[in-house]
Amino acid sequence: MAAQDNSSTDGVGPGRPGARLSRRIFLAGSTGLAGSIVAAQAAADSLADVPPRAPGADLGAHSERSKYVRIDRIPEAGPGMRNVDPDNAINAKTPHQQLFGTITPTDLHYERSHAGVPDIDPAQHRLLIHGMVDKPLVLNVDDLKAMPSVSRVVFIECTGNGWENWRKADPDLTVQHTHGLISTNEWTGVSLRFLVDLVGKQRGSNWMLAEGGDGAGVDRSIPLTEEILDEAFVAYGQNGEPLRPAHGFPMRLIMPGFEGNLHIKWLRRLKFGDQPWMTRWETARYTQLLPSGKARQFQLRMETNSVITSPSGTMKIRPGYNRVSGFAWSGHGSIARVEISTDGAKSWKVAQLNHPVLPKAQTRFQIDWVWDGKPTRIVSRSTDDKGNTQPDRSHFIAQNGTNALFHYSAQQTWSIDEAGRVSNVLA
């Protein structure tokens, strides 16, 4: 089983009632990366070392994470600019190497905010819907809650996800660094089609400007295709509770399968029109510069993608049985198949998909593997139910060049050396 440097297993030791400080525990606690594997075993090497049962702490209004679990997002200022002052952070990445299943804990959902997190009193928040409509409306969050609701588990992915590896692979990166800008939550809200029918969208009004109530007033033009009218919704709920401020409280747009930037947070305006507005974010920002010098615009859908989370960058494995696990996702639909190679993409095996396999949501995969102790490379590739297969790096770069900055979706390869150390490589 793989372990890595900030796993939850250290922190057992002196000071706990009943814990006996053995030399072994002390050694394990004082070592770093490699020590955490040892610590997990040494801390209760004999059942006699397991502390006796005792009455526990009082029940509280909230249940907190165990003090033995250290699990954090990583604030980042740009590719390679990590653990920066909160002042300078533009995003915070999800620690996929420490998570299970498919639902991201709410406080660990990745975040990209363009002008910080606004402090919005829902009693004073309004959503204006206007433009080419028959009946412009002002709604508050209670109005939305009174409407028929939809709930859906969907991934949201920043178009910058993967941007660390466009040109080179820093061997010290974890999967949190390389793929921490995607998360999956259950969101609850009101169907866009319901709102469109409510205000009476006029003929020829095929585009919608969605604008946030943050300092930057982030806004995007959204084409009102049948798919988007069917699937988009204005959410007020996140994993069963009101949205967290970092994720758009009190209301945000959810655009299943599309660029994270389109899921406008702190939503305060929907305006209908007959053409895109060409906002800063859809021209100067989230456009992909190609080798020709031209930039691809309105690449709105997120690609078919996957990544192995265990073992992954900076972990260490032992020869013998290892379970290879990770997750796949596609903005086109559901994941149909994930294949794993443990010999550097020479041969492939089909991985097991764990239920549920939901469209436009993270899907967990796993496969058994016996490592013979020789250096090798492991890699995953996914195929969705529309037949799209995740490209290998050489094909991906041939098509996109190395200047695009956004929408990186090439297969992720992890290298394993003779000592079992796992590191980030390009292919």
Partner 1 sequence: MSSPSKLVAGLALAVSMGAPALAYDFGRPATPDEVKLWDIDVRPDGKGLPEGSGTVAEGKHLFEDNCAACHGENGQGGIKDRLVGGQGTLMSDKPVKTVGSYWPYATTLFDYIQRAMPYPSPGSLSADETYALTAYLLNLNGIVAADGKLDEASLPKVKMPNRDGFVPDEAFDPARLFRRN
Q: Contact with partner 1 (CB under 8 A): which of 21, 216, 350, 419?
A: 216
Query: Using CA atoms in the order 65, 69, 73, 75, what is the torsion angle rounded to 10 degrees?
Result: 110
**Dist CA 234 CA 284 (whole Å):** 26
Q: Is 321 in the site for partner 1 (CB under 8 A)?
A: no
Q: Is 295 in the site for partner 1 (CB under 8 A)?
A: yes
Q: Give the phi and the psi of residue 25 in degrees, each rounded to 5.
A: -60, -45
**Dist CA 156 CA 235 (whole Å):** 13
**Site track 14-53 with partner 1 (rule: CB under 8 A), x = hit:** ----------------------------------------
Q: Is 287 in the site for partner 1 (CB under 8 A)?
A: yes
- Nearest by Cα to 1 from 319, 363, 313: 319
Instruction: Report the site for partner 1 in 109-168 (rule: CB under 8 A).
Output: 114-115, 128-130, 135-140, 143, 146-147
Q: Is 56 in the site for partner 1 (CB under 8 A)?
A: no
Could you tell me how many residues make up the chain? 427
The residue count for binding partner 1 (CB under 8 A) is 56
Q: Is 223 in the site for partner 1 (CB under 8 A)?
A: yes
Least gap, CB of 171 to partner 1 (angstroms)? 22
Phi-psi region of 129 (alpha: psi -120 to 50; beta: other; left: phi over 0): beta
Least gap, CB of 426 to partner 1 (angstroms)? 16
Strand duo 241-242 + 252-254: pairing: unpaired
- Nearest by Cα to 194 from 270, 260, 265: 270
Q: Is 387 in the site for partner 1 (CB under 8 A)?
A: no
Q: Which stretch binds partner 1 (CB under 8 A): 17-25, 204-212, 339-347, 358-366?
A: 204-212
Least gap, CB of 72 to partner 1 (angstroms)? 26
Given a contact cutoff of 8 angstroms between Cβ atoms, the answer to whether 128 and 269 are in contact is yes
Given a contact cutoff of 8 angstroms between Cβ atoms, the answer to whether 353 and 339 are in contact is no
Q: Is 403 in the site for partner 1 (CB under 8 A)?
A: yes
HSE (CB half, 13 Å, CA atoms) of 253?
32
According to DSSP, residue 397 is labeled H
* Residue with Cβ nearer partner 1 (19 or 147): 147
Roughly what angle, to the nearest 10 degrees, separates helices 23-30 and 35-42? Answer: 150
Helix (H) or strand (E) holding 336: strand 335-341
The contacts of residue 144 (CB under 8 Å, 6+ apart) are: 127, 189, 190, 234, 236, 251
Q: Contact with partner 1 (CB under 8 A): which of 215, 319, 375, 387?
A: 215
**Dist CA 169 CA 155 (whole Å):** 25
Q: Which stretch binds partner 1 (CB under 8 A): 68-76, 205-213, 241-249, 368-376?
A: 205-213
Least gap, CB of 197 to partner 1 (angstroms)? 7
Q: Is 343 in the site for partner 1 (CB under 8 A)?
A: no
3-state secondary structure of 393: helix
* Residue with Cβ nearer partner 1 (228 or 317): 228
Least gap, CB of 232 to partner 1 (angstroms)? 14
Q: Is 299 in the site for partner 1 (CB under 8 A)?
A: yes
Q: Is 230 in the site for partner 1 (CB under 8 A)?
A: no
Q: Is 386 in the site for partner 1 (CB under 8 A)?
A: no
Q: Is 419 in the site for partner 1 (CB under 8 A)?
A: no
Given a contact cutoff of 8 angstroms between Cβ atoms, the answer to whether 272 and 133 are in contact is yes
Q: Is 300 in the site for partner 1 (CB under 8 A)?
A: yes
Q: Which residues bind partner 1 (CB under 8 A)?
A: 114-115, 128-130, 135-140, 143, 146-147, 197-200, 206-207, 209, 211, 215-217, 219, 223, 225, 268-269, 271, 273, 275-280, 283-284, 287, 289-301, 402-403
